[in-house]
A and B are shown apart, each in its own frame.
Chain A
Amino acid sequence: MAKENDWTKPAAMAIPKEGYFTLEKGRYGPIFPRTPACYGFSVMAKIKPGTEEKIRAYGKTIEKAIAEVPDALAVLELHYLRWILFNIGKDTYFMYQGIFDTDFDKYTEDAVALFTKLGINTVFENLEGFPMDWKTNAPAFVKFVREHQVPSFLEYAEYPYVSAGEIKKALKLKASFSEMLDVMQ
């Protein structure tokens, strides 16, 4: 519980190969544990040849979407997102890494709905093996993500187990407090 998760004490966690310590079943597969670095996933998949520039262009699309609607991704309770393209031999791979505060099995459908709304899902259509009928075949979409999720074997946090919400609350309190001190001058 929260009391054991002391944010003042940096923590690292080594994770077994399976990605979890004990098998806990979620609706769509095993639940990956909350670590000092919160929940997260790293989805990696080979891209279809010739789609690299198309995928890169999505970077700008997302940048623009967030600039226009800053809370567009709020529902995902994210800390960070990282999209990476890298090569292994002649093949190019896409990595989608997210750090967030919800167990992604729980909010899978919310994420899919949001991605659809923002047009993010179509980036996946450039990945090999992605089910092109994903719009009417939710289980196939979830299966693809599950099959391409690579669990971490080490996660570390300087301030462990702190949620984005708690960080924002603390910063808000700090801002209010500074303001109060200013007013008292």
Chain B
Amino acid sequence: MLEFDDIQYFLISRPRALAARYEFLTFRQPAGGRAWLMGIIEKVPSAKGVGGASDLASRWVTVAFTWNGLRALGVNETSLATFPEEFRQGMAARAEILGTTGANHPDHWVGGLAGPDLHAIVVLFARDVAERERCAREHKEYLSQCTGVEVLSSLDLEGIPPFDYAHEHFGYRDRLSQPVIEGTGDVPTPGSGAPIKPGEFFLGYPDETSLQPALPQPEILSRNGSYLAYFRLEEHVGRFRDFLQQHGKTPEEQELVAAKLMGRWRSGAPLVLAPKKDDPELGKDMQRNNDFNYRTMDPQGYACPVGSHIRRMNPRDTAQNMQRRKMIRRGGTYGPPLPEGAPEDGVERGIAAFIGCASLVRQFEFAMNVWANDPNFKELENERDPIFGTQDGTYDMTIPKRPIRMKFKGLPAFTTVRGGAYFFLPGLKALRYLATLAKDA
């Protein structure tokens, strides 16, 4: 039922890419933007055929637009008004709702992402750095032939060695809890819940209510599209490691501190299943590493603190309506890894990721507003997500423990939001529609 030949591959499959480049574009004139788009459409693959064994491609291109970008291409005001309010406003205007305040506020964002000139993003995933560089040169040359299309900024990404498993700069194993879309044929790993209705991620399909929400107009533009929330999140690795050392006397204790913040050991082993000691075999076993709940297995949070990152961002059976809160995450790491034992070098490194969903306000903004940044989440009173929440040294983290709980007081910010934006990721027919909009539209 999913139109794999029209949906962009981005949220459906994950090709094996070790390098990436994001380019943020502005269209100085509609015709130039449309001409650029027309020339790049043929390089944008649909979900059909990407990521499978037969996929011999060495690079994969994705194109998405901000609301201002749709307008800059010539989409008319009547049509623009049918897009949801949060998308029309854009991520920067929603900062207070998202909790991206203080050092995370759009006033401090880099790359021109907070301004109205941001119109489009091109995401390039490549097999390796050499292929990424080749494509970047090619795109640069193509852009030089397009009138009025400029690169506001760009970001290069590379995986962190060792490449045999995905992890971020703090060292946590990543991609352990991914939703499966009904109709893709993928089977959820044990503990990951039932496959989720396509309408939770793609416009034009029934969602978990079994109904199909009204589409932005015209339908050819919105059908098979998704919304993307983009985040560039700097990780302060030196500060993170200092914190572990301050709170753990031995390397084992330090690992436990890291595990309590995340809810998983850095190996990926969940605290609910491995409460006292790391279990790297469990960490990498996808048939076991997500197979747990909180309500019956750890109701008080003695193993996995109620305020830990994974328990906030996916409360599993301790929250309502979970099938309607799932999101698909894509992206990667940027910046050089900080060698173990090296002091903070001041070089920016982090995660630059996309959250794909069908409703930014219901899915993404809920997760930010409530799970990441509500200080009173689960009556914790003065806590935010220890890894991802907006921290300024005034929030705590409670570690439930028998006989008496302990608290990390005044948690430092391990991460800083350096940029973000809301994009609409159209289907391929919609890309063609946009590229051929009448000049006077």
Residues of chain A touching chain B, judged by Cβ–Cβ distance below 8 Å, are 1-2, 24-28, 75, 106-107, 109-110, 113-114, 116, 133, 135-139, 163, 165
| 14 other A-B residue contacts (CB within 8 Å) besides A109-B324, A109-B366, A135-B211 | A24-B96, A27-B365, A27-B366, A106-B366, A106-B374, A110-B321, A113-B321, A114-B320, A133-B214, A135-B209, A136-B211, A136-B214, A137-B213, A139-B85
Cα distance, A116 to B210, chains bound together (Å): 13
Among residues of A, the one whose C-beta sits closest to the C-beta of B98 is: A27
Q: Do A138 and B362 have beta carbons less than 8 Å apart?
A: yes
Q: How many A-B residue pairs have CB under 8 A?
A: 50
**At the interface, yes or no: B182 with Cβ under 8 Å from chain A?**
no
A113-B320, A113-B321 as given contacts; A106 in contact with B370, CB under 8 Å: yes
Residues 299-353 of B contacting A (Cβ, < 8 Å)? 320-321, 324
Q: Which 7 A-B pairs have the closest CB atoms?
A: A110-B320, A75-B320, A25-B96, A106-B370, A136-B211, A113-B321, A110-B321
Interface centre among B86, B359, B379 (most CB of A within 10 A): B379
Q: Give the residue among A2, A75, A106, A114 with the most B Cβ atoms within 10 A.
A: A106
Q: Show the binding face of B for A, using Cβ within 8 Å.
A: 84-86, 96-97, 209, 211-214, 320-321, 324, 359, 361-362, 365-366, 369-370, 374, 379, 381-382
Contact B320–A27 (Cβ < 8 Å): no
Q: Which residues of the partner chain B approach A116 to less than 8 Å between Cβ atoms?
A: 209
Contacts of A135 on B, CB cut-off 8 Å?
209, 211
CA distance A24 to B209 in the complex (A): 30
The residues of A that contact B324 with a CB separation of less than 8 Å are 109, 113
Q: Is A109 touching B85 in the complex (CB atoms < 8 A)?
A: no
* B265 to A: closest C-beta gap in Å: 31
Q: Which residues of B contact A113 (CB under 8 A)?
A: 209, 320-321, 324
10 example contacts (A-B, Cβ-Cβ < 8 A) are as follows: A26-B97, A28-B361, A106-B369, A106-B370, A110-B321, A113-B209, A113-B324, A114-B320, A135-B209, A137-B213
- Chain A positions within 8 Å of B321 at CB level: 109-110, 113
- Complex partner residue of A136 from B213, B362, B370, CB under 8 angstroms: B213
A26 touching B379, Cβ below 8 Å? no
Query: Could you say which residues of chain B place their CB within 8 Å of the CB of A75?
Result: 320
Give the chain B neighbours of A107 by CB distance below 8 A.
320, 370
Residues of A within 8 A of B212 (CB): 136
State A60–B321 Cα separation when bound (angstroms).
26
A139 to chain B: which residues have CB within 8 Å? 84-85
